Amino acid sequence: MNEVFALLRINYHNQYYKAYSDTQVLNQIKRLWLESLARFSAETLLRGVKRVIENSEFLPTLHTMIHHCESESSEGLPDAHSAYIQACRAPSPKANAKWQHPAVYYAGRDSDWFFLSSNTENVAFPVFQRHYKQYVERVIGGEVLAPPSTPLLPETIEVPLSSEENRARLKALREELGL
């Protein structure tokens, strides 16, 4: 965390000293940031702060830093809206579609494919976004999502029993149960 704040101090010199003039307050802020950003690796934090420095001329808030760290640690994951579009446009069967990341498939599945296809974006997207965010957080936490799989057809297809065979089995079952 000290490296992160050192980079912020170097790049936002005047803003940094104006915002963090009190050492006690700075230590409290560092503690808050450390607790809030603990789920990210040190490399992710450094890449996130470098992205903040490249994209913003103002000292970042904790919220901004979390956003940049999430986007750094979720490489390969599309943003929520792109994932929503991909889920809505995927052909059936959904498990056989080519997904940018398995999290998109699972978020679509949990949101219900029919719900996504039969509602407008302003209704369906928030539901999808909630599910997708949960999967993104799991991926950021280190979980590896298995690609979707389609159930295989059985090796043999059973032919239904004739009515005589059904009666014989029912009779045997009754005798076995004492009915």
Tell me, yes or no, whether 59 and 101 share the same domain.
no
Q: Same domain for 60 and 96?
A: no
* Total number of domains in the chain: 2
**pLDDT tens digits, one per residue of 44-70:** 888 888 988 998 889 999 998 888 887
Please give the Cα distance from 126 to 41 (Å, whole number).
Answer: 29
Q: What are phi and psi of 5, to 5 degrees?
A: -70, -30
Please indicate, yes or no, if residue 153 is contained in any of the structural domains: no
- Residue 53 or residue 140, greater confidence: 53
Domain presence at residue 159: no
Looking at the fold, whether 58 and 97 belong to one and the same domain comes out as no
What residues make up the domain containing 11?
2-73
Flag whether 54 is in a domain. yes
Domain co-membership, 64 together with 92: no
The confidence band for 81, taking pLDDT boundaries of 50, 70 and 90, is: very high
Q: What is the CA radius of gyration of the chain?
A: 27
Report if residue 65 sits inside a domain: yes
Burial of 10 per CB tally in 10 Å (0-12, 13-18, 19+): exposed
Query: Tens digits of per-residue pLDDT, 124-139?
Result: 999 999 999 899 888 8
Q: What is the mean pLDDT of the chain?
A: 88
Query: Could you tell me if residue 50 is inside a domain?
Result: yes
13 shares a domain with 68: yes
Q: Is 154 part of a structural domain of the chain?
A: no
Q: Does residue 37 sit in the same domain as residue 65?
A: yes
**Listed residues 73, 90, 107: the one ending a domain:** 73
Domain presence at residue 39 = yes
| Domain assignment present for 165 | no
Beta-carbon contacts of 78 under 8 Å, excluding residues fewer than 6 positions away, are 86, 100, 101, 104
Residue 145 pLDDT more than 80? yes
Same domain, 61 and 16: yes
Q: Is 122 helix (H, G, I), strand (E, B) or coil?
A: helix
